[in-house]
Amino acid sequence: MGQSSLGCSLAERVVVLTGGIGSGKSLAAECFAAHGITVVDADAISHRLTSSDGAAIATIQADFGPEMIMADRSLDRSKMRALVFADPAAKRRLEAILHPLIEQYALAALRAAPGPYAIYMVPLWVEKASGGSGPDRRRIEAAAVVVVDCEEKVQVSRVTQRSQLPEAQVLAIMATQARREDRIRAATHVLNNDGSADDLRDQVDTLHRELIHS
């Protein structure tokens, strides 16, 4: 990617950061940010889109009904979460609304990012197909795909401690995401996060040096 972004296409500057729930994506993103690298977070964009009078609220209300919208004009996340876990068709409808908007906002932020590369943190990168059409189409291309990986039992432990969710619910969420081996197969780089935060930080430091000199 070189020391300068001048003359590079967007696809040559985007580094995807992905991984399953509880893998440690956010910690890895913080480590990249400590090097001055812009991190564009798909989940944060989704949250803004569904916050009070966010850009997706009117469409969600029209599609799912006013019962999914709270008094402050934000998405009732608990109701929607229950619905999409119980109804795959509802999940696809929600994704058809959110995913194009998320990518629209992400593209703008990635294009504006300074530096030799920018991180696009997105949980469902492996799950989304490249090319084609529909909500599963991936519209943003990347020069590298960094997967934060850990043992599945570590994922469960982290999420249950962090979110106070029951283990069964965490396992249900994991079952909707790509298999661990599929994520690793799709990766150009793997960060192992079975160890300490310092271990992960050291791996990011090494990868950062590799990325700016590649």
CATH superfamily of 40-112: P-loop containing nucleotide triphosphate hydrolases (3.40.50.300)
pLDDT on residue 137: 59
Domain extent listing, the chain: 1-38+118-214, 40-112
CA distance 82 to 71: 19
Tell me the whole-structure pTM to 2 decimals.
0.89
Determine the length of the chain.
Answer: 214
**Amino acid symbol at 98:** L
* Per-residue pLDDT at 8: 67
pLDDT at res. 186: 93
- Give the pLDDT of residue 145: 96
Q: Please list, residue by residue across 169-193, b when 16 or more beta carbons sit within 10 angstroms of its beta carbon and e when fewer do.
A: ebeebbeebbebeebeeebebbbeb
The CATH number of 1-38+118-214 is which of 3.90.1150.10, 3.40.50.300, 2.40.50.180, 3.40.605.10? 3.40.50.300
Which residue, 5, 72, 63, 78, is CA-closest to 36? 5
Per-run averaged pLDDT (10 residues), the chain, 214 residues: 57 93 96 97 97 97 97 96 92 93 94 95 82 58 95 94 89 90 95 96 97 88
Cβ(193)–Cβ(149) below 8 Å = yes
Q: How many other CB atoms are there within 10 angstroms of residue 44's CB atom? A: 14
The reported pLDDT for the residue numbered 169 is: 86
